[in-house]
Structure 1
Amino acid sequence: MEAMVESLSALAHPQRLEIFRLLMRRYPDAVSAGEIAAILDVPGSTLSVYLSSLRHAGLLSQTRQGRSLLYRADVNRAAKVIGYLRDDCCRGRPEMCASPDTLSEKESAVGDTPFSVLFICTGNSARSIIAETILRDHAGDRFTAYSAGTKPRSELNPFAVALLEGKGHDVSGSRAKTVAEFQGPDAPKLDFVFTVCDRAANEECPPWPGQPISGHWGMVDPVTATGTEAEKKLAFQQTYAGLRNRIAVFTALPLDSLDRKSLQRAVDDIGDTEIAR
């Protein structure tokens, strides 16, 4: 009981809750204090107090990398807090607290094939387009792939287009799209939503209808690569390889038989790899 009170008290503050929500969106990434301060516009001294409170409540872990302190959400503690609210506080009224996803954790977490997957980055001009194309062309009929941007560009990145065409992909029908296209009443039902850039994961986003499995597979932005044309092309090649490897692991999962908890853990494990970061 005492541990639950401490965790709930730590979250009962607007900015501490905002920090925790950001780190949950970025999970499994560990994010530096400086980056958190910049994203949320919180003074460093104030942020230090908030992070200490969240750590003391068991909601965050802290590691050191060189001279930087990195923070990561503790999803196990988050699950315990949610479980406490559901199982203890809702005792006697399960119909008010249980969602379809919690009624039977042994049921498959996703619907019938094909599984619908949405990849999100900021501009929807490179990383998410590459991921959509790889899944669409290499996963057969098991998946329907989409991509979108939180602030989509007007056209696709020419290096991304040249890379995909050079690998035999048809991108003639590809275009930059906004996430709003996938959030309305006529939007396709999504089984999975993956952010593939940190900036998109940092942004507030309304809950997805149907509560699809979500994950953060942050990749270095090849668009920011500098140097010669060959060096820029190499950055896009590395992004393609990293996304292809992650998608290969994802599509090999036994999606029909995994419950939601197991599937979420598998998706997080894929995002926790250091491929092309």
Structure 2
Amino acid sequence: MMNALVSQLQTLGHPQRMAVFQLLMRRYPDALPAGEICTVLGLKASTGSDYLSALKSVGLITSQRHATHLHYSIQMTGVEAMAAALLGDCCKGRPDVCSFSTPSALEKTMDPALNVLFVCSANSARSIMAEAILNDIGEDVFTAYSAGSKAGSDINPRVKALLEVKGHDTSKLYSKPLSTFQTTDAPQFDFVFTVCDAAANEACPTWPGQPISAHWGMADPVKATGTQAEINLAFQQAYGVLKNRLTGFVALPMTTLSAISLQREIDQIVRDIPSATKET
């Protein structure tokens, strides 16, 4: 066990191999083609292949073949084993560094509500829809917010129209940058979700309180092409996927699950309710 841990830490000790690992962690449970990984990180194909092989050899990532291409994703059981070996065997399970092992991650934050942040690049469509949906179906348990890594000037007019047809109040919805929530008086978040691949590819800010985070990537309806009916359908589908995922999210027993169990349940939601199509 200790030899495996040493090999994993040595592999992650290289800055660019660590960058590959971090990207795949941010995109989990997505499986990314090697070409996309190299493009995002600015790596040559041969260099990226070497880094991916090294991470796979120590059990931190896995690969699946899609047609003629390999797609890579995090091997979560391997990551969990590494963490257990490091914090359990090596550090003897000290409670001051193993805070994720507490019985419930959220039992002290239930009053008055759990704060949830949805992040995408422009904060004009998917994250705005998620904010509106959760604030309506979350009752008094959740308070939802949204922001963009590269926020534009306003929400997409099709999104606004769709939300109003669905009965959501849009009067307080607007596009805002992530910096809005990085001030000293900003809400402390219990959950942070990225809902677009572009935002998940970027280095995430450090949020106080170590919120549970997940990637719920889905196709951008703003990029839909075709007839007006086909474009409208793309927005309807995006709304439906988000509502179904968030319905499953609010049904989770927040106060009785450990942080690890809660994280697994949240990751499973995106597998059970995939986007109709994925971003490219």
- Provide the TM-score with structure 1 as the length reference: 0.94
Distance 1:72 1:99 in 2: 25
Give runs of aligned pairs for residues 24-39 of structure 1, distance below 5 A.
Answer: 24-39=25-40
Secondary structure of the residue aligned to 2:140 is: helix
1:94 aligned residue: 94
The C-alpha deviation readout for 1:40-61, integer Å capped at 9, x for no partner, is: 0101011111111110010100
Q: Structure 1 residue 127 and structure 2 residue 126: aligned?
A: yes
1:210 aligned residue: 209
Distance 1:116 1:276 in 2: 28
Give runs of aligned pairs for residues 84-233 of structure 1, distance below 5 A.
Answer: 84-91=85-92, 94=94, 98-102=97-101, 104=102, 106-109=103-106, 111-113=109-111, 114-233=113-232
The C-alpha deviation readout for 1:226-247, integer Å capped at 9, x for no partner, is: 1122111110000000000000
The C-alpha deviation readout for 1:146-190, integer Å capped at 9, x for no partner, is: 000000010110111111111111101111011112222211011
8 A Cα contact 1:183 1:209, kept in partner:
no
Q: CA deviation at 1:101?
A: 3.0
What is the percent sequence identity of the aligned residues? 50
Q: Which moved more, 1:120-129 or 1:201-210?
A: 201-210
Amino acid at match of 1:224: K
Q: CA deviation at 1:99?
A: 4.7
1:66 aligned residue: 67
Amino acid at match of 2:104: E
Distance 1:245 1:179 in 2: 25
Aligned residues: 273
Unpaired segments ≥5 residues, structure 1: none
Distance 1:77 1:166 in 2: 46
The C-alpha deviation readout for 1:43-87, integer Å capped at 9, x for no partner, is: 101111111111001010000111221100112211222222222
Q: CA deviation at 1:2?
A: 1.8
Distance 2:164 2:262 in 1: 33
Task: Give the direction of change, closer, same or farther, for the CA distance of 1:109–1:84 in structure 2 (3 Å limit).
Answer: farther
Distance 1:156 1:107 in 2: 36
Distance 2:104 2:169 in 1: 37
Q: Structure 1 residue 41 and structure 2 residue 42: aligned?
A: yes
Q: CA RMSD in A?
A: 1.5
8 A Cα contact 2:110 2:141, kept in partner:
no
Q: Which moved more, 1:119-128 or 1:138-147?
A: 138-147
The C-alpha deviation readout for 1:197-239, integer Å capped at 9, x for no partner, is: 0000000012211001101100100010011221111100000
8 A Cα contact 2:87 2:98, kept in partner:
no
The C-alpha deviation readout for 1:100-153, integer Å capped at 9, x for no partner, is: 334x3x234452141111111000000000000011112211110100000001
8 A Cα contact 1:119 1:146, kept in partner:
yes
Unpaired segments ≥5 residues, structure 2: none
Secondary structure of the residue aligned to 1:141 is: coil
Hey, which bits of structure 1, 4+ residues long, moved more than 4 A? none
Task: Give the direction of change, closer, same or farther, for the CA distance of 1:120–1:108 in structure 2 (3 Å limit).
Answer: same
